[in-house]
A and B are shown apart, each in its own frame.
Chain A
Amino acid sequence: MSNLLDLLVAGLATGAIYALVAVGFTLLWQTSQTINFAQGEFVMLPAFLMLAVMHAGAPFWLAIILGILLSLLLLGLGFKLLLVDPMLRHGVLPLAIATMALAIGMKEAVKQFFSAEASPFPSIVPAGDVSILGRVISLQSLGVLALAIAVVIGLTLLLNRTSIGHQMQATAQNPTVARIIGVPVERMILLTFLINAFLVALASLLITPIYLAKFSSGEVLGQAAFIAAIVGGFNQVRGAIAGGLLIGVVDNLAAAYVSTQYRAAVPMVLLIVIILFRPQGLLGRPEERTV
């Protein structure tokens, strides 16, 4: 029983990171029909950007700031201007394929210009344990969970309580009408790309200390986020959050109680079951937009 609690906390911590990545994923889908197959690599890259800045001699805090800024520039603005904008008019599929090519390119670039080996990455949460109600819980899990929850709450507030958030939602739901009533649709779409870049940079910062910085680490993460987004509801931000947490917990429980060999299978089976019985996802609405 006590073991279960540890697993739940660890699962929620990983799940919160998955949620950050999945939220970015659904935001891109909603505002610009971009299925980003490079989302996992988007999480892999910022850690290497930060490591590169640190190798140049900068302190960790500066590396974090510069890393996030570079991510906004490359993964937000650059991704939108150089790949999504020219491809968008061609439809969903060519763009999705182009992001697959982008994923290969990013992996290879990091492997070639940085290292093929896994590099350690400093944690922003100090190591150690705290004891809560007589249970010993690692500070890292707790810190990750707290930070991720703070970001998710901030994002939800931004989307639901501010004018910009409402304009973004309008853009996502019906760009034509949004444009008619005076929403700067283009700017809102750019903003979602920047938010996605910020979220993946943050996820990178949180998850890399746990799994090390490696060029191929995006594969598993991207898939987890993808599944989280579908399980939770492809067209809902809160669906992506719920999906992320669920996949994180299920993944951790499966590793402990099913088998380590088939741990990766459990989220997949969950995905298939969800598609069979609730195709719009746990919290999603039935699809309003045809693809």
Chain B
Amino acid sequence: MTINGKYWRIALGIAVIAALIIVPMNFNRYGLYILSQWAVMTIAAMGLNLTLGYAGQVSLAQGAFVGIGAYTAAIMTTQGLPLIAALGVAIVLCFAIGWILGYPALRVQHHYLAFVTLAFSTLAFLVFRNEDWLTKGIYGISGIPRPNVLGFATNRPLPFYYFCLGSLAIVSLAMWWLIRSPWGRAFVALRENPVRALSLGIDTRRYTLMAFAIGSALGGVAGTLYAPLTQYIDPVPFNLSLSLDLLMMVIVGGSGFFFGPFLGAMIAVLLPEWLRFTQGYYLMLYAVAVMLLLIYSPTGILGILDRYLAERRTKAASALRAVAKSRLETAP
């Protein structure tokens, strides 16, 4: 039974990966743009999932970190520097800002991180908008080049989509490793019971800061992909509502589940496209759907699946028990 389940899971994983590689081959430019956007948003949501789902901290600034990453990439690559350098700078910058931001907030009470990040989100937006010498203000930065990856130019939509997908795969593997490492286990421990984690010798504040800073750095990674994807950035996409959208993605997909952000980003990015026939009503429908989902299952879509599987397992176990019992009774 378990071997069978594992087999199916691996088969499903391979099928999904193959589909992500093969199916978009004859997509048009717009379809590929949407799929690339999905990959980028998934990376940002994965970072937030680490902060929120695994370490239990609410951050309202993930959108601002995406913005910092995007502006870093835009400014550096338009100056002729390679994207990989921008990626390094963005990671270090977002990690450091995350650490500094979390430090005072986590000194007092953990939900103060939400308040501080809310303020930071607005401050970051104001800097993007007002510091013309750096960010060109409301006019934005245009002509952001797409990178050459291993000698391949990614100017066309399909290669760039593969570049985004590959980045997503690398980030996913790193995250998979991280949440199974002692660090990841410490994150979960301090989400589940901070007092117990502390008494077991985990430096809770340091680990919480670490989770927040790593999550923020992943926001920066998503930003460095976002800039060459759109090739033009201005401050508007990075306001508070992007942070709130990312938070909704994580919750809707299922926070604390590894695949939650993948699903959440898919719904947030693709659902509006599918609901396009409803014209202006799609955001309204999306909002209603999110509310209904949360009422039905506050742990998101994967929460429903999890509950269903747990129920089936219990049923199977009790069936086995019943069989064993009847055998025991019929035995001489």
Contact = CB atoms under 8 A, between A and B. Distances in A.
Interface of A: 37, 83, 86-87, 90-91, 93-94, 96-98, 100-102, 104-105, 108-109, 111-112, 219, 223, 226-227, 230, 261-262, 264-265, 268-269, 271-272, 275-276, 279, 287, 291
Interface residues of B, number: 35
Given A97-B251, A279-B112, A272 B295 contact: no
Contacts of B120: 268, 272
A80 to B, nearest CB: 13
A275 B248 CA distance: 26
Contacts, number: 100
A94 B244 CA distance: 13
Contacts of B58: 93, 96
B108 A98 contact: no
Contact of B115 (A87, A109, A271): A271
Contacts of A287: 109
Contact of B294 (A94, A111, A262): A94
A264 B294 contact: no
A105 B287 contact: yes
Nearest to A274: B115
23 contacts: A83-B291, A90-B294, A90-B298, A91-B298, A94-B298, A96-B58, A97-B251, A100-B248, A101-B288, A104-B283, A104-B287, A105-B283, A105-B284, A111-B280, A230-B115, A264-B122, A265-B126, A268-B122, A268-B123, A271-B115, A275-B112, A276-B104, A279-B112
Contacts of A94: 251, 294, 298
Between B126, B244, B298, the greatest number of chain A beta carbons within 10 A of the residue's beta carbon is seen for B298
A87 B284 contact: no
A87 B108 contact: no
Interface in B211-263: 240, 244, 247-248, 251
B111 interface: yes
Contacts of B286: 101, 104
Interface in B101-131: 104-105, 108-112, 115-116, 118-120, 122-123, 126, 129-130
B119 A112 contact: no
A98 B290 contact: yes
A37 B114 CA distance: 12
B266 to A, nearest CB: 17
A243 to B, nearest CB: 13
Contacts of A111: 280
A291 B298 CA distance: 17
B139 interface: no
B308 interface: no
A264 B122 CA distance: 8
Nearest to B295: A86
B126 A262 contact: yes
